[in-house]
Structure 1
């Protein structure tokens, strides 16, 4: 047995692979290889920095520890879903592929008989865990990602560019060795604008009039004391600077008020 080496462990598993016939399984495996290769190419992983093992319905990639894990994460979060979408959109329902994905790290010994290591076993436990299966089963996306606690604590929680820690949620995984923690990726809903607009201080952009609407007309005192920058041409507002504002048909510009169609 060789000495164990530090490696990043990436696992891809096809959902409901056993329910497909032989022809469909062979086709799905080719698709899986394409997705794995495309993901690692996007993370700039060279052929010499990776080892692959085929497990029938899954593929295991051992990646050199010198490859940045943050780059692998970004590729899994962006490139993998795009690759899956590009392939699935052209396929019939029976040949569409959905994936459970695990990213872990640890020590693995590799020899001519295979790969051995407790950290590798743990990665497979995460791949088979019910929280990951349930997330894919009930989700609308074609893939779901889980990272080990080691990867989360060492990389994800620091918020490297392209990785959002708030999108990873801790789950408890029951394994043969006992309970373990992992982190499941669940993207935040895109429609968060309403929540982002709450609790803003007075004078924030959120309190400004919406585009295409007009502010409440000013009082005569406001007009006499107005001093704003900008220009008003042929009834339209142009080049507003500072706090230049249109009130009804009146533009408050550099030297006072100009009504529609009149020059200042």
Structure 2
């Protein structure tokens, strides 16, 4: 656990998890969900070889925020732990069919954190909390029907997953734009066993002006109208008798 005597901020792997639909259960169901949440997290950490006993854990009833010690390999958390959590949820939901399935959102970020008087401080904490609550990961879990939806920060994706340092395939992720309260940033979503292209996610509002501009750029532009040419006219006035053999009145072409 982090000591509040440590004044220096440090970089760490941060993990946030939240249960879908927790508030819909009655009091006893909520107690069962909290117990089962801790159970599947323990199964996953044991299976991945990243013991939770040394994590700095902050329980939140239907969720948890955890800061991992520096000697825990980030690649193992992003890869094996995530996959083991998916397997643990499948096991739990198959073993207990008496109530609602346990379905989770998981966020992973690598950022700055420090102990504070009422918990944790640092932009890393803000980021991982906003990620786990963002609309795209909520929609991914809801629309896919899966037991788990994972969202990772752009830093984690670019430095760990895209570089193939983990057991997850970059092609199985989908990029989204996260906008929660004051936090705006790109992120990447993974749902086990689901083609990311078919996920029903909210429209990326950040891209809409760009799309509109691109569409306008492809439309043919109207040519500027030329001013109409004046038709030449000739006006003749005759006040006496005029003899006009072989004469032309007007303009000869």
TM-score over 0.5 (shorter chain): yes
Alignment deviations for residues 5-48 of structure 1 (CA, whole Å, 9 cap, x no partner)? 22111111100101111111111111110111222222322356
Task: State the Cα distance separating 1:178 from its structure 2 match.
Answer: 4.6
Superposition map of 1:234-253 within 5 A:
none
- 2:175 aligns with 170
Residues 129, 59 of structure 1: alpha-carbon distance in 2 compared, 3 angstrom cutoff? same
| Structure 1 residues without counterparts, runs of 5 or longer | 191-264
Higher relative contact order (CA 8 A, sep 6+): 2
The CA deviation at 1:177 is: 2.1
CA contact (8 A) 1:169 1:186 kept: no
**Native 8 Å contact 1:70 1:163 kept in 2:** no
Give 1:39-54 correspondences, 5 Å limit.
39-47=44-52, 49-54=54-59
3-state secondary structure, aligned to 1:131: helix
Aligned to 2:110: 105
Could you tell me which residue of structure 1 aligns to residue 131 of structure 2?
A: 126
Q: Which runs of 5+ in 2 are unaligned?
A: 196-253
**Residue 35 of structure 2 corresponds to residue 11 of structure 1:** no
Query: Shift in Å at residue 49 of structure 1?
Result: 3.5
Q: Following the alignment from structure 1 to structure 2, what is the Cα–Cα distance between the partners of residues 92 and 187?
A: 21
Q: Are 1:115 and 2:114 matched, yes or no?
A: no
**Cα displacement (A) at 1:149:** 1.0
Please state how far the C-alpha of 1:188 moved relative to its aligned partner: 6.4
Match of 1:62 in 2: 67
What is the alpha-carbon distance in structure 1 between the residues aligned to residue 59 and residue 81 of structure 2? 19
Aligned residues between the structures: 190
* SS of the residue 2:68 aligns to: strand
Q: 1:146: which partner in 2?
A: 151
Please report the TM-score for the alignment, with normalisation by the length of structure 2. Answer: 0.69
RMSD value, Cα:
2.0
C-alpha separation between the residues in 2 aligned to 1:161 and 1:152?
10
When Rg is computed on C-alpha atoms for both structures, the one with the higher figure is 2
SS of the residue corresponding to residue 109 of structure 1 reads strand
Contact 2:14/2:68 (8 A) holds in 1: yes
For residues 153-182 of structure 1, give each alpha carbon's deviation from its aligned partner in whole angstroms, at most 9, with x where no partner exists: 110111125221111111001122253100
After TM superposition, give the deviation of residue 82 of structure 1 in Å. Answer: 1.2
Match for 1:90 among 95, 98, 101? Answer: 95
Alpha carbons 2:48, 2:84 under 8 Å: kept: no
1:74 corresponding residue in structure 2: 79
- In the alignment, structure 1 residue 155 sits paired with structure 2 residue 160: yes
